[in-house]
């Protein structure tokens, strides 16, 4: 579990690194900070590409080797971004996404083999804390490092972390990958994973709900630093601290949501609750102003962190539970293709909407609308699964 969590953390740290230095990155290239939304789109375009074959790669190479491949791609991508050349920024973002797309199918495969029992929601939630841990590390370390050595040097630290973990994973590779099948073909049917999910109404609705949540998560984490700096008069380091604290809160929230789902025996009830909290807290953001009490501003963003960044573990466990036997990696990959689709256009749409709404805070109306759509999907999934259980 430690290895899967660390892999998730460093992959997440790489994808979030450009957002933590967005003002400095934009200034160095004489480009608007909203550019970061388009970089995030490139990241998740890459993630979608590898999610399509993630299950097959895990079965052929082994989950550990797939994790090592993910870390190598993330390190390569971050170094390309650090080059500071506009075409390299786009390419680097895409390469990081290729790496990120392998992490969840590999982790789900490993956890489903070695971690079973009644606390599966909590186990998956612990693994998924890697995402906010990565965000916390990015928010704490990279802005400070950027002030000392420049934004390019700051984000290059992430490549060092990724490559170090890649080497450490080799210690366990033989044991963890003893179920690999070198005869598995990678590109026989790249859409098979999506078809697997789409045929199951329960998986389909949960995946569509996750699409709206991933939209909210990436809009929040991508533009939080920029919103605080440009609209609420925070310094870059102070804004990075808020981002880090929101990630810390989301770590605790993931554990709480996972524990609640195991206790209730119903992950969808928990997803419905956290979406409701997300809608209410996001609706408050357009009202924020520099003269608001600091504690109130922190509270709003901590609640969003707990929900918009705290849902993933319960979702991943639900997908693993509903997946056909022997198809957890493929079902995870197919579900993530739909999930990442919410991210693919999300930050770009959020960035574009700022011109219409008048700012980043006002554009949180998009997160409210996404939350309402996700809530509808969860309600329909509950009705479908109850009907299936009664049949």
Domain that holds residue 159: 2-171+190-390
pLDDT at 324: 79
Q: 305-350, pLDDT tens digit by residue?
A: 999 998 988 898 888 888 877 777 778 878 888 887 877 778 888 8
The CATH number of the domain where 105 resides is what? Answer: 1.20.1250.20
Q: What would the mean pLDDT of 270-297 be, rounded to a whole number?
A: 96
Q: 68-81, pLDDT tens digit by residue?
A: 999 999 999 999 99
pLDDT at 95: 96
176 in a domain, yes or no?
Answer: no
pLDDT at 29: 81
**pLDDT at residue 252 is higher than 70:** yes
pLDDT at 325: 72
182 in a domain, yes or no?
Answer: no
**pLDDT at residue 388 is higher than 70:** no
Q: Which residue has the higher pLDDT, 376 or 339?
A: 376
| pTM to 2 decimal places | 0.73
pLDDT at 76: 97
339 in a domain, yes or no?
Answer: yes
Q: Residue 384 half-sphere exposure, CB side, CA atoms within 13 Å?
A: 15
Q: What would the mean pLDDT of 353-378 be, rounded to a whole number?
A: 93
pLDDT at 212: 95
Q: 106-156, pLDDT tens digit by residue?
A: 887 777 766 665 566 667 667 666 777 887 788 888 988 888 888 889 899
Rounded to whole angstroms, the Cα distance separating 21 from 361 reads 19
pLDDT band at 271 (very low <50, low <70, confident <90, very high): very high
pLDDT at 57: 86
> Which residues are CB-neighbours of 212 under 8 A, at least 6 positions away?
342, 370, 371, 373, 374, 377
pLDDT band at 375 (very low <50, low <70, confident <90, very high): very high
pLDDT at 342: 79
184 in a domain, yes or no?
Answer: no
Q: What would the mean pLDDT of 4-21 be, rounded to a whole number?
A: 86
181 in a domain, yes or no?
Answer: no
Q: What would the mean pLDDT of 152-177 be, rounded to a whole number?
A: 90
209 in a domain, yes or no?
Answer: yes
Average pLDDT across the chain, whole number: 86
Number of structural domains (the chain) is 1
Q: What would the mean pLDDT of 146-170 be, rounded to a whole number?
A: 91
Q: What would the mean pLDDT of 344-371 be, rounded to a whole number?
A: 89
pLDDT band at 214 (very low <50, low <70, confident <90, very high): very high
179 in a domain, yes or no?
Answer: no
pLDDT above 70: percentage of residues in the chain: 93
pLDDT at 117: 58
Q: What would the mean pLDDT of 85-105 be, rounded to a whole number?
A: 90
pLDDT at 280: 97
**pLDDT at residue 391 is higher than 60:** no
pLDDT at 187: 66
11 in a domain, yes or no?
Answer: yes
pLDDT at 120: 64
Q: What would the mean pLDDT of 5-18 be, rounded to a whole number?
A: 88
């Amino acid at each position: 579990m430690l290895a899967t969590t660390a892999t998730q953390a460093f992959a997440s740290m790489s994808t979030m690194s450009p957002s933590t230095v967005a003002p400095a990155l934009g200034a160095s290239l004489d480009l608007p900070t909203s550019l970061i939304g388009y970089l995030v789109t490139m990241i998740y375009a890459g993630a979608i590409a590898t999610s399509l074959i993630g299950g097959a790669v895990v079965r052929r190479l082994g989950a550990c080797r797939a994790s090592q491949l993910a870390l190598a791609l993330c390190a390569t991508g971050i170094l390309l971004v650090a080059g500071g050349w506009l075409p390299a920024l786009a390419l680097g973002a895409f390469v990081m996404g290729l790496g990120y797309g392998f992490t969840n199918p590999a982790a789900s495969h490993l956890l489903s083999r070695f971690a079973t029992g009644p606390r599966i929601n909590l186990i998956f939630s612990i693994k998924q804390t890697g995402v906010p841990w990565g965000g916390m590390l990015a928010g704490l370390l990279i802005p400070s490092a950027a002030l000392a050595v420049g934004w390019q040097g700051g984000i290059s630290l992430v490549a060092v972390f990724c490559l170090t973990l890649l080497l450490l994973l080799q210690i366990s590779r033989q044991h963890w990958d003893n179920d690999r099948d070198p005869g598995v073909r990678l590109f026989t049917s790249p859409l098979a994973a999506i078809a697997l999910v789409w045929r199951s109404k329960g998986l389909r609705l949960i995946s569509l709900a996750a699409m709206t949540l991933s939209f909210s998560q990436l809009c929040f984490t991508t533009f939080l630093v920029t919103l605080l700096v440009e609209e609420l008069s925070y310094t870059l380091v102070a804004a990075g601290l808020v981002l880090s604290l929101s990630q810390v809160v989301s770590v605790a929230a993931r554990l709480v949501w996972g524990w609640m789902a195991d206790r209730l025996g119903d992950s969808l009830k928990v997803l419905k609750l956290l979406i409701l909290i997300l809608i209410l807290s996001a609706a408050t953001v357009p009202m924020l102003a520099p003269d608001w009490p600091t504690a109130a501003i922190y509270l709003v963003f901590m609640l969003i962190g707990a929900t918009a960044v705290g849902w993933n573990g319960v979702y991943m466990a639900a997908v693993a539970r509903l997946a056909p036997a022997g198809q957890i990696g493929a079902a995870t990959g197919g579900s993530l293709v739909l999930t990442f689709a919410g991210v693919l256009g999300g930050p770009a749409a959020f960035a574009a909407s700022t011109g219409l709404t008048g700012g980043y805070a006002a554009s949180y109306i998009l997160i409210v609308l996404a939350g309402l759509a996700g809530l509808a999907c969860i309600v329909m999934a509950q009705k479908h699964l109850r009907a299936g259980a009664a049949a």
